[in-house]
Amino acid sequence: MKGNNGKGNVSERDEWETPQVLWDLLDNQYSFGLDCCANYNNTKSKFFAPDFISINSQSLLVKNGECCWMNPPFSKAYEMFKHFFKVVSKGVVIYRCDNIETKIWQDIILKNASWIFIFKGRISYEGMEGKGSRFPSALIGFNVDPPKNLNGTLLKLI
């Protein structure tokens, strides 16, 4: 798979995997119970949802208050974020933060997130060819404490 070629949120870039080192650090802090947008080949968690949209707030992992992780497919990000904030009681998401003026940021993320953490430097995602992403990435938290031991800037939302 190729890296970002400037085409935007297209399905050819949906399979970018969370770097294992970052996953391990975050999972150590949050003990993720569900990888919301993963499949058998790329999940980092014991439990994953290849069809996250079909999960409702009564799902056992969501209902039991498990902390959820989401690295959404770019081509379905708006739909995934909208559903995430609707059904998940707490969680962390990683997403691009180069266009915070867009509808997804203005209408969904900024109105629902507890905090946003912007990494210093770029993330090198797994599952793609090239030199990594051309855009900055952010962690978006919902009803959980901000991440520890990461280099970047934390924005707390009211």
Domain boundaries, the chain: 11-43+56-156
Q: Which helix (H) or strand (E) holds 155?
A: strand 152-156
- Judge whether residue 6 has pLDDT over 70: no
Task: Indicate the pTM of the whole model.
Answer: 0.86
Q: Which residue, chain included where needed, has tokens 């959820």? A: 68
Q: Is 11 helix (H, G, I), strand (E, B) or coil?
A: helix
> Which is nearest to 62 in space by CA: 83, 77, 78?
83
Reported as a pLDDT band with limits 50, 70 and 90, residue 130 is low
pLDDT single digits (tens) 102-129: 999 999 999 999 999 999 988 877 766 6
